[in-house]
Chains A and B, each alone.
Chain A
Amino acid sequence: MSYSTTVQELIDQLGRLPGIGPKSAQRVAFHLLKAPSEDALRLSRAIIDAKERVSFCSRCFNLSEGGDECAICLDSRRETRMVCVVEDSQDIVAIERTQEFRGRYHVLQGAFSPIDGVGVEQLRVKELMSRVADEDIEEIIVATNPNLEGEATAALLVKYLKPMGVRVSRIASGLPVGGDLEYADELTLGRALEGRTVLDTGNDSQP
């Protein structure tokens, strides 16, 4: 049995969303049809508002609402000499939750992954380079994911930023808090050893 054109169109459009298969699309469509019309309209309005008002920040490519630059770039209390480079806007939210970082961000909008056709030109690397050239930036903190693509992205950034004379650092990686050494994989454990912190230098003569 097939549905009327209008219903089928709704199901097709919902089915194009990530993680929603044909069956789920059908379920959501019927839920919307059964729901009071103000509920459905509120959803449609939210989608329209978000698409109209949210754009990418012209400086850092974070999501920005109703303006050219995002709230973080416009915030005058922020440290402008530190820039944290992340893969996606969601990563900014994660770093902001730590309340440890008061600088600005730069969103690459992806990670270096040749097998998926993502190279330097698909990432916002050139934009980062022109920021380093134009703004008074002292340190770039590379906070890409600690996986294969993220590490390759970090190496790529080093290659492009090296000639520009800016300090480039990488967020540390190691064992998760509450983890178990025995089950740690070699790579993570190796990195944890490499980036160990000194508890005591052993040079103090007095206790």
Chain B
Amino acid sequence: MALYRDHAVVLRTWKLGEADRIVSLHTHDHGKVRGVAKGVRRTKSKFGARLEPLSHVTIQLYRGKGDLDTITQVETVDRFVSLRSDPDRFARAQALLEAVDQVAQDREPDPELHVMLVRGLRTLDQSDAPLVVAAFFLKLLDHEGVMPELEACVSCGEDNPIVAFDPIEGGVLCRDCRRGRPITPEALETLRRILGGGLAGVLAEPVASHTGEVDILATLLMEHHLERRLRAVAVLDQTQY
């Protein structure tokens, strides 16, 4: 199979040579794939704007001998117009892309992750709900099999009142074992609802006092799992004022 077709979200692009670009894609059936879009930077290119980061496309690629496939055809599925015109949402959408780019493995099919990313971007495009990024990070960790323990204290397992949260321990801690950072009951409840099937309800809520806390906790967990800082999140913090 030299030529193949797939659905894909463009994660990142790099310039290559005079007029080409390397495009990093997360596909439905082929995992993370890097392809070369020949001549895409020329004004007369047939790909044009379709291969910019954030685009959801159907794509045809040619699998050659090397690491990079050659992109032969692209059609747009979603353009996510509001993500492009609002700097704040743009930064948040890039945070999703960065997280997926870090988690996904080359040519390791993960249709569920692809669907999650598309849904995440669609939600962000349509609603601008405050907790989309945090919820996406938590669901992504769940998908990776590293969901934090939120029910009982991770250290002693007793059903004592929860007061702290530590990404290194991998969950919440009671008063006797507390470590890491304090957690409020509202934030804990929100985390439980996101991972326990109450996602739609959480996303429908307006900004509250614990929204920032949930955001920070989700980012801490994500960065702990990736073992690196997320650059888009750092930029996001300076955009909000």
Q: Which residues of A contact B (CB under 8 A)?
A: 112-121, 147-148, 151-152, 155-156, 159, 176, 178-179, 183-188
Contact = CB atoms under 8 A, between A and B. Distances in A.
Q: DSSP class of A's interface residues: helix, strand, loop or mixed? A: helix
Contacts of A116: 231
Nearest to A153: B87
Q: Which 8 A-B pairs have the closest CB atoms?
A: A185-B48, A119-B235, A114-B232, A117-B231, A114-B235, A187-B49, A148-B52, A156-B87
B98 interface: yes
Chain B interface size band reads: 20 to 34
Interface in B215-241: 231-232, 234-236, 238-239
B52 A118 contact: no
Contacts, number: 80
Interface in B62-106: 76, 79, 84-87, 90-91, 94-95, 97-98, 101
A99 B84 CA distance: 31
Nearest to B237: A119
Given A114-B235, A116-B231, A183 B46 contact: yes
Interface of B: 12, 43-44, 46-50, 52-54, 76, 79, 84-87, 90-91, 94-95, 97-98, 101, 231-232, 234-236, 238-239
A185 B90 contact: no
A114 B236 contact: yes
A115 B52 contact: no
A185 B76 contact: yes
A117 to B, nearest CB: 4
Contacts of A183: 44, 46
Contacts of A117: 231-232, 234-235
Given A155-B87, A185-B47, A185-B76, 10 more contacts: A114-B98, A114-B239, A115-B12, A117-B234, A119-B238, A121-B238, A148-B52, A155-B90, A187-B48, A188-B49
